[in-house]
Amino acid sequence: MDEYNKHNDLETSISFFKNEVRNFVESRNWSSYHTPKNLVQAINCEAGELSQLLLFKDYKLEEIVNNEELLTNISEEIADVFIYLISLINALDLDLSQIFIEKMEKNKIKYSSKEFNNGIYYKK
């Protein structure tokens, strides 16, 4: 296994993803195509491909994780969504850690654990 393939969630930084996607795009001269509009639409297209894998199926979680081909296909579409999302973050020069923290703080207030501790997923 070479250095490139040694990455895992515990040891890989967000800047690694941002640099990988930026280098991939720039080395192909695709920056002009990676406009916010195009990237949002590409995210939706890839999310649609992900959704299609489960369309009209009622898999239980165990059925998905034990189906190697399906899990591979789902993983690849997740990666496609993530890659375009990272490219959008790059195009808009956003700091993912900062926007994540800010939004999670809002979510913690909007969906307080005190109010949502009984399995209900929506506000009454």
Binding site for Mg ion (CB under 5 A): 46, 49, 77, 80
For Mg ion, the closer CB: 44 or 67: 44
CB of 20 to Mg ion, least distance (A): 17
> Rounded to the nearest whole angstrom, what is the least distance from the CB of residue 10 to Mg ion in the complex?
26
Helix (H) or strand (E) holding 32: none
The position carrying tokens 């239980």 is 60
Q: Is residue 36 within 8 Å of residue 87, measured between CB atoms?
A: no
Q: Which strand (E) or helix (H) includes residue 6?
A: none
> Closest separation between CB of residue 99 and Mg ion, Å?
24
> Sign of the C-alpha dihedral, residues 92, 94, 100, 102?
negative
Give residue number: closest CB to Mg ion. Answer: 80
- Count the residues in the chain: 124
Is 11 or 69 the residue whose CB approaches Mg ion more closely? 69
Closest approach of Cβ 69 to Mg ion, in Å? Answer: 15
Nearer to Mg ion, 20 or 82 (CB): 82
